[in-house]
A and B are shown apart, each in its own frame.
Chain A
Amino acid sequence: MSALGEPAVAVEGLSHWYGTGMTRRQVLFDLDLVLLRGEVMFLMGPSGCGKTTVLTLVGGLRSVQQGSVRVVGRELLGADESRLIANRRNCGFVFQSHNLHRSLTALENVRMGLEAQGRGLPPDADERCRRMLAVVGLEDHAAKRQDQLSGGQRQRVAIARALVSEPPLILADEPTAALDRQTGHDVVALMRHVARERGMTVLMVTHDNRVFDLADRILEMEDGRIVGNRRGDAKFVPPSDLLPPAAHLPRPVNGAAGAVPRDGAGGSVRSDSLPL
């Protein structure tokens, strides 16, 4: 474990296949990656390179076939259905096409994020959902159904739904694909802002280079392998509870102000030296 504590996601030697028999095809090849708590990581690459498969495996939507996937400290290899469901409840999902329930209002859709936790609704559920809608700027749209909302507003409702239960990990799959440039940027900026505010980690699959300025780190995939690991334009600042006292002071080192060395000795870390 690093000085930054248990990583939000730790993947080691991950391989995955689709199909059986003659049609069996390998889509992931011995992948390693570490996603630190509070980090906003983008996963990019051409279609079919395996990035969505990584997302579904980390989210517990598929069973891990080979290798290790640890999400907030829990191993998913060999996990049964109940452990996979428990893992899903640790994740907030934002989908490409928002996947809101047509028959529900914005407030009710957000409430589903709390109901999904399987513990019954807390007495202040509606209040929490309204607050979350206010955070995404939709406090006046709580009673509207999706057909009364714009594309950007729908995606913001989906973000509110993903965040309302305050999961440690947000998994997003091309959330800007159906949005125009400005709206797409606003939506991801909002997601990043709210996630950072609440100490959540974000793993987002995207092709959209218009939002790269919002990433702490960008992983590039090709043919089921990670082929690039570079710093995004944003500056990664780990959650304050993980920083040693000295790290709070601005000390420009190696030209990556605000980053933290992996050995925890204070100062900053170059994103290109972050663990895969």
Chain B
Amino acid sequence: MPTRRLPIFGRTIFRRTPLGWKQLVHSKGRLAIATAGVAFAVLLVFMQLGFMNMLFDSAVVIHRKLNADIVLLSSTARDFSNAGTFPRTRLLQALGVPGVADAEAFYVTTRDWIKQSDTNRGERGQMLLMGVRPDFKAFQDPVITAQQHLLVETGAALFDRQTRGNFATFRDAVERGERPQTELGGRTVTLVGTMQVGSTFGLEGALLVSDQSFFEFAINRVPGAPSVGLIRVEAGHDVEAVAAAIRARLGGYDDTMVMTMPAFIEHSRNRIQRDSPVAVVFGFGAAIGMLVGLVIVVEILSADVHDHLAEYATLKAMGFTNRSLIGVVFEQSLILSVAGFIPGLAASLALYAVVRSLLTMPIGMTLERLLLVLFLAVALCVIAGAIAMRRVRKADPADVF
């Protein structure tokens, strides 16, 4: 009967002397080292996973800001800055599909520019150059839309205020309306406003110009070959259904892909995950972090078990089973995992903030990552406990005499 069993269970679980905890807090120095070891492992894993996801997220940071329900893309597109091109005619064909409200060409390339940062004035860097018709609302951000009319002037550009480097003076000059100039792709560019986009691993920042200016800076590009087609769907229409209809309309052409925006983001993330070695590199780094933590915790737990071996043997002599003593080691493992996880998490959040501020890249904590690393920390400590408890199992109660 549950009413009879529960009190026995409760007595067993909750009225047991927390021997593992008592032993840990009794050796405060050792507890501090073990906690620091787990925290260090947690920090390493969080940073590796954070950097990896930052890379993936930075690859789609502009995707998320675009004002489109469906995109057209070259079938050979690699990533946003190397999107390739597709025939503009496909956009016109898509316009004829019921439910399509609007379709516009978006041009993307990379160009060298001469930095005007406070510390690296005159050095060359590489920027993402985006071109769009000034009267087309290509971005969701109203700040960008409100300034797009300034791009009508040839050579005028909006400057990404999150461009990597110390551009405070330059940015302030732009925002004061001083229209500072520098060189982009060998031509003069005038910065007439700022926007918020964000840098990526390979590119320092972004500039937005009109489609006409784009062809001035990228003389190898032509209006008939856009990088991305931005399509908006009329209200009340199912985006998936409209995308399918466009696909059907373009069925005879294999030079263009049609994707909804979420699919485009997923496609771009998958592409970089699959094609670049970063997942392996950062995954390896995370594994090394785990290994370091494992070694530290195994050492600490083993030393603790060794120090208390006579006491464990005494308990065995008194009638404790191996299972109950192994429970003590597992109790210590779980305490260490939680005790190490909390400072590790706090340090990771602080470092994420530092990286965000220094690199202006999208790094942040997600619930999934937090739970994953918590699980890994617990698993790490349980494995360490399993290794250490072999000694407990070997403790001979006859040795206490």
Residue in contact with B319 in the complex, picked from A102, A117, A120, A122, CB distance below 8 Å:
A117
B354 at the interface (CB under 8 A from A): no
Cβ-defined partner of B26 (8 Å) among A61, A89, A102: A102
CB distance from A179 to the nearest CB of B (A): 17
The complex places the Cα of A239 from the Cα of B23 at a distance, in Å, of: 41
CA distance A108 to B400 in the complex (A): 20
B17 touches A61 (CB 8 A): no
Smallest CB-CB separation from A59: which chain B residue? Answer: B317
Our pick among B22, B315, B401 for the contact of A103 (Cβ within 8 Å) is B22
Q: Of A59, A61, A116, A122, which is within 8 A of B315 by CB?
A: A116
Tell me if B314 is interfacial: C-beta within 8 Å of chain A: yes
Q: With A55-B401, A95-B401 given, is the CB distance from A115 to B311 under 8 Å?
A: no
Contacting residues, chain A, for B19 (C-beta < 8 A): 101, 103-104, 112
Return the contact of B311 from the options A86, A102, A116 (Cβ within 8 A): A102
Within 8 A of A (CB), among B6-35: 8, 11-12, 15-17, 19, 22-23, 25-27
Interface residues of chain B, those whose CB is within 8 Å of chain A, are 8, 11-12, 15-17, 19, 22-23, 25-27, 308, 310-311, 314-321, 324, 397-398, 400-401
B11, B315, B319 interface centre (most CB from chain A within 10 Å): B319
Interface size class of A (residues with CB under 8 A): 20 to 34
A121 within 8 Å of B by Cβ?
yes
- B15, B26, B314, B324: the one contacting A121 at CB < 8 Å is B15
Q: Please name 7 pairs of A and B residues whose Cβ atoms are closer than 8 Å in the assembled complex, sorted by A.
A: A59-B317, A96-B401, A103-B26, A115-B320, A118-B319, A121-B11, A125-B15
* B-side contacts of A108, CB under 8 Å: 17, 22
Q: Are A112 and B17 in contact (CB under 8 A)?
A: yes
A82 CB to nearest B CB, Å:
8
Given the contacts A120-B8, A122-B11, A125-B15, A173 and B319 also touching, CB distance less than 8 Å: no
Q: Which residues of A contact B397 (CB under 8 A)?
A: 61, 88
CA distance A150 to B36 in the complex (A): 36
Q: Does A42 sit at the interface, judged by CB under 8 A?
A: no
Cβ of A115 to closest chain B Cβ, rounded Å: 6
Docked Cα-Cα span, A102 to B12, in Å, equals 23
Query: Across the interface, which residues of B come within 8 angstroms of A118, CB to CB?
Result: 319-321, 324
The 6 A-B pairs of least Cβ separation, nearest first, read: A103-B26, A89-B319, A120-B12, A120-B11, A116-B318, A116-B319
Which residues of the other chain, A, contact B321 by a CB distance below 8 angstroms? 85, 118
Q: Complex Cα distance A164/B23, Å?
A: 23
| A104-B19, A115-B16 known; A88 vs B318 contact (CB < 8 Å) | yes
C-alpha spacing A52/B317, complex, angstroms? 14
The contact of B320 among A103, A116, A121, A123, by CB within 8 Å, is A116
What does the 1/0 interface line of A96-109 toward B look like (CB < 8 Å)? 10010111100010
